[in-house]
Amino acid sequence: MGAGDTAPDFELPAMGNELPMSLADFTGRVVYLDFWASWCGPCRKSLPLYEEMKGEFPEDRFEIVAINLDEDRYDAIRFLEKHPVSYTILLDPAGTTASQWQIQAMPSSFLLDGDGQIIKAWAGFTSSHLEEIQNEIRSSLH
């Protein structure tokens, strides 16, 4: 999956309330979609930084959605107890959505426009990605 592709829809349970959510639930908003796992070293750095980043953009036009790939949800729960986030966490323990999105590296993230088109994709994470991600979000919101 890359820039210009239509993002595949999914339906996954949300952490906490188990209600199913799909990508279509975020239509009309720019979405930063992140695939992560508690065992992924770079994910431990990125999730708290995304939490800070979330506050920089209007809630009614921007959303972060993080899809957790831990096979055991309690690994994710323990991680999030230490590094709480306020954005949407969805659970994909079987990795079905990750396969559909052709995830090759952890973490992998995608910036989507309000129509579900992929604007940009990132494989892996370093703190230098953050400024580029923020600039892409700003451009997408204007």
How many residues are present in the chain?
A: 142
Looking at the domain assignment, is residue 1 inside a domain? no
Tell me the DSSP string of 14-54.
Answer: BTTT--EEEGGGGTTSEEEEEEE-TT-HHHHHHHHHHHHHH
Residue 36 banded pLDDT, cuts 50, 70, 90: very high
| pLDDT value of position 1 | 67
* Cis peptide bond prior to 48, omega within 30° of 0: no
**Three-class SS state of 105:** coil
Looking at the domain assignment, is residue 52 inside a domain? yes
What CATH number does the domain containing 46 carry?
3.40.30.10
Domain that holds residue 128: 11-141
pLDDT, tens digit, for every residue of 58-90?
A: 999 999 999 999 999 899 999 999 989 999 999
Average per-residue pLDDT in the chain?
92
* Total count of domains within the chain: 1
pTM of the model: 0.94
Residues 6 or more apart whose CB falls under 8 angstroms from that of 95 comprise 69
